[in-house]
Amino acid sequence: MKQKRAFKYRVYPTPEQQQILAQTFGCCRFVYNWALRKKTDAYYNDHQRLYYKELSILLTDLKKQEETHWLNEVSSVPLQQALRHLDKAFLNFFEGRAKYPTFHKKRNTQSATYTANAFTWRNGSLTLAKMSEPLQIVWSRPLPNEAIPSSVTITKDCADRYFISLLVEEEIAHLPCNEKAIGADLGLKSFVVLSTGEVVGNPRFFHKDEKKLAKAQRRHAKKKKGSKNRDKARLKVARIHACIADRRRDFLHKLSTRLIRENQTMCVESLQVKNMVKHPTLSKAISDVGWSEFVSQLEYKADWYGRNLVKIDKWYPSSKRCFECGHILTSLPLDIRQWDCPECGIHHDRDINAAKNIVTVGLTVLACGESIRPGRVSSRSGKTQRSRKP
């Protein structure tokens, strides 16, 4: 079964192409913000909902107006795609996956999407609409044989780097099955501790460059607004942020790919990161570690390669439960990294014990198809009680 997969490459456009892309980015941003305002006003003022079809008709009328006639200078396809992206943003909002859409800003990442009728793909060269020359793409990895992009998205990040993403259909072969199953306990001191005893340290990419970033931000804040020196200082800050993000993304991709290739089943906790980042002292460290991105990568790579990813109940006391006898402590502060079970006397490393509990519960969930709660609960009085399944 073929699946859609995006391949991202670095692009070095010529000055003429940069000018065309700048116009296209600006028009896409204008159309997106204009459509967002139209949808919001129509709902609150007239109690009506506007969708892509209605907005597309209004966009045609907008292009005919004299004050916005400059929208005709760029390809119409990216403008239509901007309306589709807005519809997708509202769908994510109504289904609880994102917040209410906000206006796009000039200083943020810019993007434009072209469908098949707005670019020419010939012998590995890509020419976008309104351009006379193909883009200079750095082919860091080859595309699948005889792959033809169905759409391309070109982006410019805050560090003034250009990237292009080619969406193609590819037959992704499943990896050979094996019987290996691991549990992964995500943490801050160590990024992940596996049930096999392997410990992967936390690189703390943001922490390493935090002083360097703070110095660049102070210099940027002191520059006069609107000056060229302020733009140069802003670019330095953006490059530091981009370096941190690139290193974190590379680390997460390499680790998730290795775990997917080595194991048939991976068990993790379903963490609520958006609630955890509200912690008064650990919010910066939680944001730096990148748990959500890591689990997302495991999820779609497991789907690609025929692996199993199991998310256990977030309330399961994996750290406080003894892996040997099932005794559960009433409390276990974060500063206690090792503890002895009061019932069987086994000495536990907090993270390794949690990883072993995660893989055990994960395999049970995979077999039973339901959320599993602990079978033995230690009450505050010290007595052991049986808990019911939900």
CA dist 199 and 190 (Å) reads 7
> How far is the C-alpha of 337 from the C-alpha of 209, rounded, in Å?
28
Give the 3-state DSSP-derived string for 339-387, with helices as H, strands as E and coil as C: EECCCCCCEEEHHHHHHHHHHHHHHHHHHHCCCCCCCEEECCCCCEEEC
**Catalytic residue selected from 269, 293, 299, 303:** 269
Short-list 76, 30, 78, 38, CA closest to 55: 38
Catalytic one of 160, 170, 185, 370: 185
Pairing of strands 308-312, 265-269: parallel
What is the three-class DSSP state of 108? Answer: coil
CA distance 263 to 234: 44
C-alpha 106, offset from chain centre: 22
Output the CA–CA distances (angstroms, integers) from residue 23 to 117, 161, 334, 365, 379, in the order listed. 19, 16, 52, 52, 66
| Terminal Cα distance for the chain, rounded | 37
Torsion angle (degrees, nearest 10) of CA 234, 237, 242, 248: -160
> Cβ(98)–Cβ(92) under 8 Å?
yes
User: Is residue 246 annotated as a catalytic residue, yes or no?
Assistant: no
Instruction: Say which of 16, 169, 231, 351 is annotated catalytic.
Output: 351
Give yes or no for a contact between 215 and 390, defined as CB atoms under 8 angstroms apart.
no
335 in active site: no
Can 269 be counted among the known catalytic residues?
Answer: yes
Query: Which amino acids are annotated catalytic?
Result: 185, 269, 351
